[in-house]
């Protein structure tokens, strides 16, 4: 199935993004390869099923518009049922909070510009080492000091270097990192393919 190859390509770009995150220049290239790939999954699924149902639609650019028309013309009930199910599932994806953002970002990559995360959050963690010493002064009844003792000095701790982390976000979904968003949309598309395989074996 062509859609399986597309899923594998999406998974490859997703894994590369995870490896490169958050090195923006290289990460951005993988993100711009991932978005059109993941968004094309519904069309690849539709194409696989038009072949399976013998619709013989050669015009892949207008596949979505022609699928149901050809299925009706051929009186192919299985194809018409599949198309109705497929359209409802894709409409759900387009209404999903993450789905609509990612699908719109993909349209931008194809038609207008390179996509990069809109927001960055930089987090720096510093650790401070505190050393305590105790001094005990003993006095007699007249207030005269007769003994002074101190706790043994603590060894100087090894300094722990500061840690920094940068996360990238789409402005439309500031609560999830770009990687999280891409993982979620990949999972949604993967589920779409699995559901199709189960419902229309």
What confidence score (pLDDT) does residue 45 get? 96
Q: Is residue 79 part of a domain?
A: yes
Number of domains observed in the structure of the chain: 1
CA 64, CA 83: separation in Å to the nearest integer? Answer: 9
The owner of tokens 């650019």 is 61
CA 201, CA 197: separation in Å to the nearest integer? Answer: 5
Percent of the chain with pLDDT over 70: 84
Confidence of residue 108 (pLDDT cuts 50, 70, 90): very low
CA 14, CA 82: separation in Å to the nearest integer? Answer: 29
Q: Is residue 54 part of a domain?
A: yes
Lookup: tokens for 112: 């207008």
CA 54, CA 76: separation in Å to the nearest integer? Answer: 9
Q: Is residue 144 part of a domain?
A: no
Q: Is residue 143 part of a domain?
A: no
Q: Is residue 58 part of a domain?
A: yes
Alpha helix positions (H), 161-201: 178-199
Cα torsion 88, 5, 101, 178: sign: positive
Q: Is residue 96 part of a domain?
A: yes
Judge whether residue 191 has pLDDT over 80.
yes
Picking from 3, 4, 34, the residue whose alpha carbon sits closest to that of residue 18 is 34
Q: Is residue 67 part of a domain?
A: yes
Over residues 157-173, the pLDDT tens digits come to 777 777 766 777 878 88
What confidence score (pLDDT) does residue 122 get? 53
Confidence of residue 112 (pLDDT cuts 50, 70, 90): very low
Confidence of residue 42 (pLDDT cuts 50, 70, 90): very high
Range of the domain at 9: 2-122+172-199
What value does the CA radius of gyration of the chain take, rounded to a whole number of Å?
30
Q: Is residue 148 part of a domain?
A: no
Picking from 57, 51, 32, 52, the residue whose alpha carbon sits closest to that of residue 200 is 52
């Amino acid at each position: 199935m062509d859609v399986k190859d597309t899923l594998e390509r999406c998974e490859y770009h997703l894994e590369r993004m995870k490896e490169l995150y958050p090195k923006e220049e290289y990460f951005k290239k993988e993100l711009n390869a991932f978005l059109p790939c993941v968004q094309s999954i519904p069309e690849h699924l539709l194409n696989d099923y038009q072949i399976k149902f013998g619709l013989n639609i050669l015009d892949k650019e207008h596949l979505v518009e022609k699928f149901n028309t050809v299925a009706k013309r051929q009186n192919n009930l299985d194809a018409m049922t599949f198309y109705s199910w497929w359209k409802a599932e894709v409409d759900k994806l387009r209404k999903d909070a993450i789905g609509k953002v990612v699908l719109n970002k993909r349209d931008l990559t194809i038609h207008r510009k390179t996509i990069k995360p809109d927001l960055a959050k930089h987090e720096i963690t510093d650790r401070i080492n505190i050393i305590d010493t105790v001094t005990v002064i003993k006095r007699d009844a007249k207030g005269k000091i007769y003994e002074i003792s101190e706790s043994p000095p603590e060894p100087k701790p090894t300094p722990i270097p500061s840690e920094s982390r940068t996360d990238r976000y789409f402005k439309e979904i500031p609560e999830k990192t770009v990687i999280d968003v891409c993982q979620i949309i990949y999972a949604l598309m993967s589920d779409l393919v699995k559901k199709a395989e189960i419902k229309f074996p």
